[in-house]
Homo-oligomer: A and B are copies of this chain.
Amino acid sequence: MRITKLFSKTRKDSPKDETSKNAQLLIKSGYIHKELAGVYTYLPLGLRVINKISNIIREEMDNAGGQEILMTVLQDKNIWEKSKRWDDNAVDDWFKTRLKNNTELGLGFTHEEPLVNLMKNHINSYKDLPIYPYQIQTKFRNELRAKSGIMRGREFLMKDMYSFSKNKEEHNLFYEKMKEVYMSIFNQLGLGDKTYTTISSGGSFSKYSYEFQTVSDAGEDIIYIIDQEKKLAINEDDFNEETLKDFGLNLNKETLRSEKSIEVGDIYSLGYRYSKALNLKYTNEKGLDEFVYMGCYGIGISRLMGAIVELNSDDKGLVWPREVSPFDIHLISLSKTENYANKIYDELVKRGFSVLFDDRQDTTTGVKFNDADLIGIPKQIIIGEKRIKNNEVEIKDRKTQEIKIISVDSLYDLL
């Protein structure tokens, strides 16, 4: 894509109404736009990152046996009353609205209830289980405060998978597998080194669950590292004698390293909590009715994008990991090198690279370099007047700022 065609512009200054680094940088560099506190529009560059993250997750979900669906924002009060989660005293971050006839509706913050209700039409026999529907969909949470940019949105994009199993044993196999699937996702997103599978409380049904926590000063949680090599941690909130005993751990808080961290995912065993509330049963091999055993597996996609920004930036701007960068290459044409740069652009596109091409004619070299570092695509190729006389170009690594001079002939091999 040519920058002269891209409508988003970088800014000189960070927005003053943002306190989080992720929102400041993403707005400054033209990736997102703030509509309201905790409510952000994704501009062309931002949507490309969101799609890259989504596709990595989608592929892992499909490989794990997931089936993608798309549920609705609007929620039926009757269904949520069955699980006693309609009341604002039970769930304190509902957004609610009304039909013309005054019927109250909710805006989905999660989808256990409607999915269980839906599954009553599709689960009859043990032969129908296990199944793993998932979606990548917009969720709504009426947060009292929204100060963490896209990491804690009032409207945000989430991947939520739900498992429907015959019993606890079948569930546990998948639950354990998902721990690995999740770590594989964080590895692919360049967050693996800093992300810990973290023992946490279990919520409404099971005693414990696992969170995935990425170490960052921007995090709102605190974790204690149990095993650096195995990437195992425990949430500060659950560091108590009972938990340690239940997991057979003999640990001393004083000797462990604690870190601030961002919760980038969580997996819950739901057990019979929702299948009982909404009466979701199947007929087992003996012809008897049993409740379905459930789990849920969430990842905040916009939050992940925020976490990646928090961990990958410097004073010049963003530094995307290759896997989620909006483009593979940032191609910069300096003065009077337009024709030469055009040829290289066409050749790169022909070879399947996605390229952001700074083809601006009326912009100084300094502005182009600053914008490239701000936008943060990992590889920059600079076409300068002097170099092209020797058929050479510069390749600059965004992160290290290291520049290599190479011949155009070897450019395509090197990439």
Q: Hey, which chain B residues are within 8 Å of A99, CB to CB?
A: 142, 154
**Would you give the 0/1 interface string for A96-132, flagging 1 where the beta carbon is closer than 8 Å to chain B?**
1111100001010000001000110111100110010
A138-186 at interface with B (beta carbon < 8 Å) = 138, 140, 142-144, 154-155
| A367 contacts chain B at the CB level, 8 A cutoff | no
B155 touches A72 (CB 8 A): yes
Cα distance A127–B361 when bound, in Å? Answer: 11
Q: Hey, which chain B residues are within 8 Å of A244, CB to CB?
A: none
B7 touches A67 (CB 8 A): yes
Cα distance A69–B50 when bound, in Å? Answer: 11
| A376 contacts chain B at the CB level, 8 A cutoff | no
A122 touches B7 (CB 8 A): yes
Cα distance A346–B92 when bound, in Å? Answer: 50
Please give me the residue from chain B that is nearest to A30 by CB atom.
B122
Q: Hey, which chain B residues are within 8 Å of A47, CB to CB?
A: 68-70
B118 touches A74 (CB 8 A): no
Tell whether A74 pairs with B121 under 8 Å between CB atoms, given A42-B69, A47-B69, A97-B96: no
A41-69 at interface with B (beta carbon < 8 Å) = 41-44, 46-47, 50, 65, 67-69
Cα distance A373–B356 when bound, in Å? Answer: 47
Q: Hey, which chain B residues are within 8 Å of A42, CB to CB?
A: 69-70
**Would you give the 0/1 interface string for A1-24, flagging 1 where the beta carbon is closer than 8 Å to chain B?**
000111111010000000000000
| A338 contacts chain B at the CB level, 8 A cutoff | no
Cα distance A5–B133 when bound, in Å? Answer: 11
Number of copies: 2
| A403 contacts chain B at the CB level, 8 A cutoff | no
| A208 contacts chain B at the CB level, 8 A cutoff | no
Q: Which residue in B30, B40, B70, B74 is a CB contact (below 8 Å) of A36? A: B74
A121 touches B9 (CB 8 A): yes
| A278 contacts chain B at the CB level, 8 A cutoff | no
| A76 contacts chain B at the CB level, 8 A cutoff | yes
What's the minimum C-beta distance from A194 to chain B, rounded to whole angstroms? 27
B74 touches A35 (CB 8 A): yes
Cα distance A100–B95 when bound, in Å? Answer: 9
Q: Hey, which chain B residues are within 8 Å of A154, CB to CB?
A: 74, 99
B36 touches A105 (CB 8 A): yes
Q: Hey, which chain B residues are within 8 Å of A5, CB to CB?
A: 65, 67
Q: Which residue in B39, B71, B100 is a CB contact (below 8 Å) of A142? A: B100
Please give me the residue from chain B that is nearest to A154 by CB atom.
B74
Cα distance A140–B96 when bound, in Å? Answer: 14
Cα distance A33–B96 when bound, in Å? Answer: 22
Cα distance A70–B73 when bound, in Å? Answer: 16
B76 touches A35 (CB 8 A): yes
Please give me the residue from chain B that is nearest to A146 by CB atom.
B99
Cα distance A408–B288 when bound, in Å? Answer: 44
Q: Hey, which chain B residues are within 8 Å of A65, CB to CB?
A: 5
Name, among A9, A46, A100, A144, the residue most crowded by chain B CB atoms within 10 Å (CB to CB): A100
Cα distance A4–B74 when bound, in Å? Answer: 31
* Leading 4 A-B pairs by shortest Cβ distance: A42-B70, A7-B131, A97-B97, A44-B67
5 pairs, CB–CB < 8 Å, chain A vs chain B? A7-B67, A9-B122, A41-B114, A41-B118, A95-B97
Q: 16 new A-B pairs (CB below 8 Å) besides A7-B131, A41-B69, A42-B69?
A: A11-B121, A36-B72, A36-B105, A39-B72, A41-B71, A43-B69, A47-B69, A47-B70, A73-B138, A73-B140, A74-B140, A95-B97, A95-B98, A95-B105, A97-B107, A138-B138
